[in-house]
Amino acid sequence: MTIAPATIARRDDAVGVPTPMAATSGRRRVIELTLALLPMGLVLTFTRGTNMDLDIYRGALVDMLHGGSAYDYAVFVKEVGANLGFIYPPFASLVMMPLALVPEAVGAVVMAGVTTLLVMLALLGCIGAIDTHRLRVGRKEVSLLVVALASLPIAVSIPALSNMTLGQISFAIAAVVLIDVTLLPARWRGTLVGLVGAIKLTPMILVPYYLVTRQWRAAINASVAFALATAVSAAVRWSDTIRYLFHPEVVSNSLGNLSRADNWSIYGVLSRFGLDGSTRTVVWLLGSALVLAAALWRARRHSLQGQELEATLVMGLAAGLVMVATWPHHLLFCVVACAVLAMERPAIGFPVLVLATIGGELLPESPGNWMVLLIISLVVLGLPGRARRAPRTTPLDAARHPVPDAA
């Protein structure tokens, strides 16, 4: 008889845990070629758009270059019924300043290109994280067909169409958060979250999650990066910093009609149901508190099972639910979460993925209400699929349970 060899594993310095040596470079190249279709879809969508939000960014930044404030510029948009202006923290204006230094067409191509590159990197990181964990618990990698079928619908999803046609920055922000959790070495985890949190505040919802799961280094990295970026912007744009922090109308005046069908947040649902005033505020606050509590509980459970990607997605989904306004382009986390679910549990995940990506086209009258229900379900139920661990094989186990020679 022969003795079964112990499971071969190596220690990955980036994450500090054993990682099976089974993923091949050939498989990675096939995945990269498959996902190359995704950028094509995003860029094609971009060419059909108006770049309305990008034009607002550029207008505000041009005002800054001429000595004005980024928060004075506004454009009335009839479809929204409001004067839309720049609503991001001052650090965002510094990061996006190059868009105002190049011709409009060049700036549009740069925004689309950077967004597409970041989304592709984020998806590669997500697929790598899923495969690594599956191998670690003794399961096979996700088949290439399932990877393709789960990933490519993202390009035609309502969130992607919204982000690319408007020239929005939201997909890029969410993609950087996913890159932080899947590709960044563990000792630096949280750093990118803090940096993009200074551009758009919602990623900072991960800091309470880091604290609940005792990821002290990640919490410190995120907080320090956020503080440094905010300090730099305050030093350069002090008046805009004061205005953003202490004058909430900078943001609220640019939100428009919050009862619109494409406001995919709890607040939007309550507004469509006719609640207003203090009643709406109280119900919204209570609902948001319950969602955040459920998200932290579910994310912690994912973390205990080594599922940091799923935990991050759950917190990102919760952030969208509790905001006053969550437009489709804010929901890269949602379509990625559905894609992850499709890879892990195809029978459940693919119908959910179709609903999240193109369901709004099939049910255009009220997509916001059922999308909010879908997102709440993902937060409460989580993203199952990788919880069960295979028995760990050791040399002693192998000696006690030898494998008979083949006849």
Q: What is the DSSP string of 281-347?
A: HHHHHHHHHHHHHHHHHHHHHHHHTT-HHHHHHHHHHHHHHHSS---GGG-HHHHHHHHHHHHH-HH
pLDDT of residue 200: 95
- Euclidean distance between the first and the last CA atom of the chain, given in angstroms as a whole number: 11
| pTM of the predicted model as reported, rounded to 2 decimal places | 0.85
Taking the C-alpha atoms of residue 145 and residue 222, their distance in angstroms, rounded to an integer, is: 36
Is 147:34 a contact under the CB 8 Å cutoff? Answer: yes
Strand-pair category, 17-20 with 74-77: unpaired
**Number of separate helices (H) and strands (E) present in the chain:** 20, 4
pLDDT per residue as tens, the chain (407 positions): 444 443 333 334 444 443 433 345 666 666 766 665 666 666 666 666 788 899 999 999 999 998 889 998 888 887 777 788 899 999 999 999 999 999 988 888 889 889 988 998 898 899 888 888 888 878 888 877 788 888 888 888 889 888 988 999 999 999 999 999 999 999 999 999 999 999 999 999 999 999 999 999 999 999 999 999 999 999 999 999 999 988 888 787 788 788 888 889 999 999 998 888 899 999 999 999 999 999 999 999 999 988 999 999 999 999 999 999 999 999 999 999 999 999 888 888 888 888 888 766 665 555 668 889 899 999 999 887 544 444 444 444 444 444 444 33
pLDDT at 337: 94
Q: Helices marked H in 137-204 — which ranges?
A: 144-151, 158-166, 170-182, 191-197
Q: What is the pLDDT of residue 2?
A: 44
pLDDT (0 to 100) of residue 43: 66
DSSP 50: -
